[in-house]
Amino acid sequence: MARRSASILNRLLAKNPPSPFTAPTRSITYMPRPGDGAPRTVTLIPGDGIGPLVTGAVEQVMEAMHAPVHFERYEVLGHMRRVPEEVIESVKRNKVCLKGGLATPVGGGVSSLNMQLRKELDIFASLVNCINVPGLATRHENVDIVVIRENTEGEYSGLEHEVVPGVVESLKVITKFCSERIARYAFEYAYLNNRKKVTAVHKANIMKLADGLFLESCREVAKHYPGITYNEIIVDNCCMQLVAKPEQFDVMVTPNLYGNLVANTAAGIAGGTGVMPGGNVGAEHAIFEQGASAGNVGNDKIVEQKKANPVALLLSSAMMLRHLRFPTFADRLETAVKQVIQEGKCRTKDLGGDCTTQEVVDAVIAALE
């Protein structure tokens, strides 16, 4: 049968040889640098708080669906001064990481390990997909927003010092290179995913040089995508418009700080941070985690009761599977998670239920079967 099929294929190719003018492949698809479909090892960082609960949920579901993914686990906690070198080497080797939340001390202490990872691996783009989930009642319908945020500079550069006692200076760094890079990623994402509009979020009316450079870069990139509508919005008006009429937005591209605020706001509008997937990507590496940062570590009560919501990280894992070129597994996982939510029988407290993390996992595995 195999020989016969090959013979038929050869005859068809002889009659219709492939065109030498085949369009070149693009460097960005759903996420940059997809794999070749072979079984993959993924670095796993459970993190702080609810992190071990939700990453454990992903491990169970991956095993149940026989996904061709093997996890290489490392213990990293937010109070560490640096991300251990072996963890950095693991991500560089595996190219892909799945991560729970890492707590960052407020107003002192060590610097953010999340920022260390992004800078060390040049993971320049954060992508959060804020979309209505069927079965979850929300104030607004038809919300489907992708927030693409520059991940390496801006107010998160960490360049602060005390000029004199009582006076602190914090530097916001914006470069043309990073601004153009994130703008290209946003427009390429929009183009390849059949999105119609890209909105640049800024505060150039006040920060005329820094945010002005960001807008200038976005405008230059937009010229190369005439089929995509481009517009701009000041960040404070953006927040008001998100709350009032979120369905007007499609893809949003932002500097670092604004993107964090916009993504969490959009996630809250679309159904809550516990159900919004996300990924952080660069030219060579990708880290997948809960899309919106609010609540990604949880609190002691949720940890003690083991009632953390695993949905966001499960959906982020589906993004990871698609990135690794396992689309069938990604579709199966997304379908099972959304089926559990839509049925409404098994939900954690943030979604109006009282189920434990394990009960949600069991329901997802049952839906897979």
CATH code: domain of residue 287: 3.40.718.10
- The answer to whether residues 151 and 85 belong to one domain is no
The pLDDT value given to residue 37: 58
Which of 243, 270, 297 is the last residue in one of the domains?
A: 270
Domain total of the chain? 2
In a domain, 6, yes or no: no
In a domain, 221, yes or no: yes
The pLDDT value given to residue 32: 44
In a domain, 241, yes or no: yes
Residue 140: which residues within 8 A CB-CB, separation 6 or more?
A: 132, 245, 246, 247, 269, 270
- Give how far Cα 277 sits from Cα of 3, 43, 146, Å: 45, 18, 10
In a domain, 5, yes or no: no
The pLDDT value given to residue 36: 54
- The answer to whether residues 311 and 237 belong to one domain is no
Task: Check: pTM over 0.75? Answer yes or no.
Answer: yes
pLDDT tens across the length of the chain (369 residues): 444 434 433 443 444 444 433 333 333 344 444 455 578 999 999 988 889 999 999 999 999 999 999 999 999 887 888 899 999 999 999 999 999 988 887 766 567 888 889 989 999 999 999 999 988 888 898 999 999 999 999 887 778 888 999 999 988 999 999 999 999 999 999 999 999 999 999 999 999 999 999 999 999 999 999 999 999 999 999 999 999 999 999 999 999 999 999 999 999 999 888 899 999 999 999 999 988 777 667 778 888 899 999 999 999 999 999 999 898 999 999 999 999 999 989 999 988 899 999 999 999 999 998
- The answer to whether residues 197 and 316 belong to one domain is no
- The answer to whether residues 249 and 324 belong to one domain is no
- The answer to whether residues 231 and 153 belong to one domain is yes
In a domain, 130, yes or no: no
34: nearest Cα among 84, 119, 126, 96: 96
- Cβ–Cβ < 8 Å for 361, 57: yes
**Domain of residue 228, residue span:** 139-160+167-270
In a domain, 335, yes or no: yes
The pLDDT value given to residue 350: 87
Which of 229, 250, 270 is the last residue in one of the domains?
A: 270
The pLDDT value given to residue 17: 44
- Cβ–Cβ < 8 Å for 130, 268: no
- The answer to whether residues 48 and 78 belong to one domain is yes
In a domain, 247, yes or no: yes
- The answer to whether residues 92 and 209 belong to one domain is no
- The answer to whether residues 40 and 61 belong to one domain is yes
